[in-house]
Structure 1
Amino acid sequence: MKTVLTAKLKLNTTPEQFKALRTTQLAYRDALNYVSQYAFAHGKMSNAVRLQDATYEEIRLRFHLPSQMACSVPRQVAASYKTLWTKVKHNAVHRKEGKTKKRYKGLDKAPKFISPTLTYQYKKDYTFKKEQQVSILTLEGRVIVPYTGYNKHVALIQRGAEIGASKLWYDKPKKQFYLLVSLEIETADPTPETHKQVVGVDVGMRYLAVTATMQGDCTFHSGKQIVPRQTTTHD
């Protein structure tokens, strides 16, 4: 069985590396908002391929993003518009059925991206190096940054885990960058031998439930308080 978890890595940057990451992050956010405005002006587009074809060159030219990031931007915007369109359609159905009178306004104007969180694709935008270092792409090229994190997560990265995309997150109050890395690991399926306790449950009316353990302990959960009572009415 595969389990997905997120490793939070603290990036120990130099002042120059910090500036390069922050500049890249803000440029990525500006590109998201440019593409969002374009999508809104052209029928509130949610098709990632069409949106990429229409905006890729301008993203590269205007925001100087590397090619992979320039591809990630329209995909992210398209996904946001697709989610909003789904909400619009659900709202229309609920209004027609009389479940609500409120009209969903999520697509009344172009969605604005506030967070400068940046998405990186593994082996394209970032890779891990030896001695707990990570190579990250910026507008000025790659920077190699030492990182620290939860020991078990670091060990998984160094051996065994399947590494996916990551997000460059900036903790503004602390002025600290973190890399949030998606990890997929293989875990053992649960077996009878791994369970320390088994409980049987019998459901009824007089007693909502009766539980019994392998040690013979029983617990009765009375349903007396909620058993429906028959009432008699007189004309």
Structure 2
Amino acid sequence: MEMQVTIKTKLKISNSEIAWSFSKTMEQYRQACNYVSEYIFNNDFDMKQSRLNKELYTKLRNLFSLKSQMAQSVIRTVIARYKTVKTQMARRPYKYQDQNTGEWYREVRDLTWLHKPISFNRPQVDLQRNRDWSYLSSGQLSINTLDGRVKVDPICRGFNQYLDGTWKFGLAKLLKSSGKWYLHISATKEVADFNKQTVKHVVGLDRGLRFLATSYDEQGKTAFFDGQAIMRKRAKY
């Protein structure tokens, strides 16, 4: 089976020009997403990528100065968001009570219940492996922007474990949080299928804030990992 993880690496930006290129690229990408979102909303929620690509690809490149791959990524990003919202709405039907009989009814909701297009408020950009980003032999990351490719240093403890040839990198998302730059990289690896017959010891883990983790096994053994020290350090910085 396939195991998937998201590698979250901080980026070391060497100069303000790179930061400006990142900001400009992310903002143009965000505006392009809203443009596509409005089109989908006004065209009966057509999410066929081939039709959207034919109708919007050239416009996205001209209006927002996007590179070829980024223009296509915008369409995929918006389609994925609409599909997610569609699933969420279907899982939460509208419930109402008949005022005459007192009976309750459920009505399944779909995208037509939306009153306005889905809005993309946070600047970010999705980057395709090799075409928009790549890992260099020097240990740096090469990231595509509207001003061309730039090289940055990743700050991620344990990143080398994903470079043993068994992991396959995919989509990466560039974003900014609390003044710092990050790249979230999707990685997959083929692992053996789980066989419950071979399980000899079961341990359950529960994560939290007061206790970072609590473990419990089938023999009744419990362990608590206190989070007070971490919370104090977090409050300090």
- The aligned residue for residue 231 of structure 1 is none
Does the 8 Å CA contact 2:93/2:106 hold for their aligned counterparts? no
Q: Compute the displacement of 1:189 (Å).
A: 4.5
TM-score (norm 1): 0.72
Compared CA separation, residues 103 and 126, structure 1 to 2 (3 A): closer
- The aligned residue for residue 185 of structure 1 is 189
- Paired residue type of 1:182: S
- The aligned residue for residue 145 of structure 1 is 152
Secondary structure of the corresponding residue to residue 106 of structure 2: coil
Gaps of 5+ in 1: 199-212, 218-235
- Higher CA-based Rg: 1
- The aligned residue for residue 203 of structure 1 is none
- The aligned residue for residue 5 of structure 2 is 5
Does the 8 Å CA contact 2:10/2:154 hold for their aligned counterparts? yes
Compared CA separation, residues 189 and 44, structure 1 to 2 (3 A): closer
- Aligned equivalents of 2:39, 2:199: Cα separation in 1: 55
Does the 8 Å CA contact 2:90/2:108 hold for their aligned counterparts? no
Secondary structure of the corresponding residue to residue 169 of structure 1: strand
Q: Compute the displacement of 1:149 (Å).
A: 0.5
Query: What percentage of aligned pairs have identical amino acids?
Result: 33
Number of matched residues?
A: 198
1:165 lines up with 2:166 in the alignment: no
**Superposition pairs of residues 76-225 of structure 1, within 5 angstroms:** 76-86=77-87, 98-100=104-106, 107-151=114-158, 153-157=159-163, 159-171=165-177, 173=178, 175-189=179-193, 195-197=199-201
**Superposition pairs of residues 25-104 of structure 1, within 5 angstroms:** 25-86=26-87, 98-100=104-106
- Aligned equivalents of 1:197, 1:107: Cα separation in 2: 48
Gaps of 5+ in 2: 97-102, 203-217, 220-237
Does the 8 Å CA contact 2:69/2:132 hold for their aligned counterparts? yes
Deviations 1:88-124 (A, max 9, x none): 66667977x9543796775221111112221111011
Does the 8 Å CA contact 1:162/1:184 hold for their aligned counterparts? yes
Deviations 1:182-219 (A, max 9, x none): 11123345568964438xxxxxxxxxxxxxx8xxx9xx
Deviations 1:132-155 (A, max 9, x none): 20110000000011112021x333
Does the 8 Å CA contact 2:172/2:184 hold for their aligned counterparts? yes
- Aligned equivalents of 1:132, 1:59: Cα separation in 2: 33
Secondary structure of the corresponding residue to residue 147 of structure 1: strand
- The aligned residue for residue 206 of structure 1 is none
Compared CA separation, residues 59 and 150, structure 1 to 2 (3 A): same
